[in-house]
Each structure stands twice: as C-alpha cells, then as structure tokens.
Structure 1
C-alpha cells in the first residue's frame, strides 16, 4: 500500500486545532493540488475563498450554527460553485448563457466543488494537517453571500476548516463495501448490510473516547432527512441566478 492510499485511509474529521498558523507554502500547495483536479470541460466551475481574519471567521462560525472549530482553525476555506467567470466569458464572446437555467448546470457546479473539496482534504492531510468539511455554510446562505461579497452566479456549497490538530478523534467506521460498491448493476437488497452496519456503528458510538452515546446509523440518517435541514437555499439560488431563479 503506497503513502497516498495510507493517507486517504487514515482520514479523520478534526474539530479541535492548535493555536498555530498554517504555513503559506503548504496552503499554496493545497490550492495547486485543487487546481490540478478534474472538472467539467475545463470550465473550472468552482472558487475557493480563504478566510483567516478572526472577526470574519467568528461571523461565519455564527452563520454556520455556532461552530467553534471555525473560529479555532487558522484557515477556513469556502468552496463555491462559480459560473461568474463563465458569465464574463459569455459577455466577452457575445453569447447567451442559457445553460445557467438548466438544473444540470447546478449539478456540474456542485460536482466540481465536490472534487475540489475532496482534493483539498487529501492534500492537507498528506501534509499532516487536519480538516473538517462544513455544510453549515448553507445554513444562512444569503448572509454568507453578503459577508463574502459573492457576485451573481456564485453560491457557497461547503466550508473546510484547515489547521494543525489539537486532538485526533477516533475514526468512524464506514458502511460495508458491498453497500456502496456494485458491479454491473445496482444491488438493491441491502437491509442485512444496514443491520450489520448498525451493530458496528452502535458499538463505535458507545465506546469512542469523546462524545460517546447510544444510537444507530439508520436512526441518525432517517432523523436527519425526516425534514428540511437548511431553509432559504431556494432563495439563495434565485438571488444568485441559478436554476430555480427567473430568466
């Protein structure tokens, strides 16, 4: 097993950071790795905003639901789906940008962000840094857009805390391979796999060193998706001229 695979298999979500800055050269290497990642038509439909200012990090931490690790991390990266450059290119070439109203455009942008985010996590962890993605950046998306001065055709999708870990948490067990990997066709009969995973997950929650509690994976996921979690996302899409808005 090579070092890259070993690093990927060692992933943990880090929510506690040392009071120590991230080296600018290491941050530059992370961004360079992201820019080398694949994306749709080489359109590079993402942007990354690095926030280091303590006051702005505090504001964003509150907008994300009071997540203290955003304040604690020396660098908070916000990954955005970005078609503003596409808009400028269309203006330069005197072409319409009708595809922005197709829902597939939103899929393209969020896919590019997902690849970029995953690459940033892998790059940061290869340097010995800790990370945790922050979906809460969408909790108060309109306020985040204002805080970050985002132009039309740009939406915040995920944040990423980056820093030197103060604590390394236990590693969460993942679903059985058979539940996520299929050959030729999707294998729909997976209730036994979920029941098996519930047992493993329940034991992990009860025995982990910090924040131990009772529960199962299916209980957690079903509860989370029993109602809408972030409100105002459709308003964000409309304001930023994404699918769901008006021509």
Structure 2
C-alpha cells in the first residue's frame, strides 16, 4: 500500500485524485478538477522493471500502435516506425547492447521506437522530389519529437489495459549495432526501447515523486525565484522515497549533476552525432 492510500482513504473520486497527486509529489496539491479514468492512468504511471511470464494479450501491440498514431505529428510527416521484438534470443542480444538491463530479458515484449527518415526518402524518390531537408538538424529533431509523442501515447494505452512498461534509453549506447540487429535501413535510428508486460505482483513498482511544480512551472516568463528551495525540498522527499523502497539514498541534485558532468557520463553516447552520420542522417 502506498503512502497516499494511507493518507487518503479512497471514499470518493476527489480523494482518489488527491491520493494520486500526493504520490506524485509527496506533498499536498489541491486541484478543483473532477477525477476521471484518463487522469488515473496518467498520474499513476510508474516504470515497471519486473514482469510475470504471462504473454502480452492479443491485440495489445496493435492497440499501442493505434494510440501512437493518434498522437500529434508535425506536418503529418509521421517520421517514425516501431519494431516489436518477442524472440528471446534477439531480446538477449539487444539487452547486451543496452547495458545488460534484465527487464529486457524478462519482459515478453520489447518495442523499439525508430526515427524513420528512410520512408520519407523513399517516398521522395518515388514521386521525383529530393528529400534534402531531412539532413538538417531540425528534421532529426522533428523525428525525435514525433517518435516520443507516439511512444508516450502507446504507454498510456498499454497501462490503461493493465500492462506495465519501462523506457530503455540504453538502446542508444550502441546505435549502429542495434540498427544491424534490427535490420534498419539507412536514415533510421532506434531512439529508445520500451519493455512491455504484465507487472509482477511480487515486485510492485511505486510511483517515484517528481520535482515540485514550483521548480518547473512559470507564468508568463521563465523565473527561478523559488526553484532552489523547491529543489532542496525535492531532495528530502526523494530520500524519503528511497528509504521506503530500500534503495540507496542519494540527493537528486547529486544524481542529476553527475549524470550531466561530461562526455564520460554519457555511456558512449558522446559520439552519437558521428554514428548518426554513419547511419545516413548526414546532419547539418
């Protein structure tokens, strides 16, 4: 049982929303809005890294893709694809490339989200129009944004039917090798992976608290007046969460600072521009 369930006996929808918000921030946040099932799914999100052996239900992949294709797409270019991997041997090879993350091995389904400029290049060749704009950074950024929007829609859909998910950014550790494993054509790139499966009830995932809204929400113009105090408060709340979960205690400020300290903290991704050029993106 989470702290929020203890703090908020769930007797009505308003208290359910309050419980979800408390879990997300570990602090009171009163909102004058009505609870609904969509808010429940969104606010209850947590990364799931332990799965049962149960297969993903029939139709779940197609539902996830339908939800993904319902996300916004800049100029309707739809510059992404997804590769669904269920073969244990292929998952094992991908797990090794992504830093040996065990949830990839355990999850019955691994979705690879692809920035796909190859399709647009082929369409241009078919209609006799060059696709030279795809080589500019803006186009790659557009592809990454659209792919991310699509994947998050898929996550919400999968969680709404009781499945768990976890994003795998480590798939970018060895992008050329991942491209070879998936048989990706030129001008396509695995942006991240997503494990999918039935959450293991023996290893329940908890909602990790996020930064207070004072640190991220500004009105009219960007401001930092309350950000230091808000971040300090977050360090304390995150340590409390870590103690509850029997995790090593570490301030978020230290963790985040170490993660961005230099090229050596990027797990090999500091050469990503060169690899992307090798994969056919030729970024300008």
Whether TM exceeds 0.5 here: the answer is yes
- The residue correspondences of 1:1-247 to structure 2 (distance < 5 A) are 1-166=35-200, 167-189=203-225, 190-208=227-245, 210=246, 212-228=247-263, 229-231=266-268, 232-244=271-283
> Which residue of 1 is the match for residue 15 of structure 2?
none
User: Equivalents in 2 of 1:65, 1:161: separation in Å?
Assistant: 14
User: Equivalents in 1 of 2:150, 2:275: separation in Å?
Assistant: 22
8 Å CA contact retained: 2:124, 2:131: yes
> Which residue of 1 is the match for residue 3 of structure 2?
none
Structure of greater relative contact order (alpha carbons < 8 Å, 6+ residues apart) = 1
The answer to which of 95-104 and 81-90 deviates more is: 95-104
Question: Structure 2: which 5+ residue stretches go unaligned?
Answer: 1-34
8 Å CA contact retained: 1:103, 1:243: no
Rg comparison, structure with higher value: 2
User: Equivalents in 1 of 2:138, 2:250: separation in Å?
Assistant: 37
8 Å CA contact retained: 1:12, 1:168: no
Residues 217-243 of structure 1 show CA distances to partners (whole Å, capped at 9, x for unaligned) of 111100111123132412321112224
8 Å CA contact retained: 1:90, 1:96: yes
TM-score, length basis structure 1? 0.95
User: Equivalents in 1 of 2:45, 2:211: separation in Å?
Assistant: 15
SS at match of 1:136: helix
SS at match of 2:165: strand
Divergent runs of 4+, >4 A: none
SS at match of 2:199: coil
User: Equivalents in 1 of 2:122, 2:109: separation in Å?
Assistant: 29
TM-score, length basis structure 2? 0.83
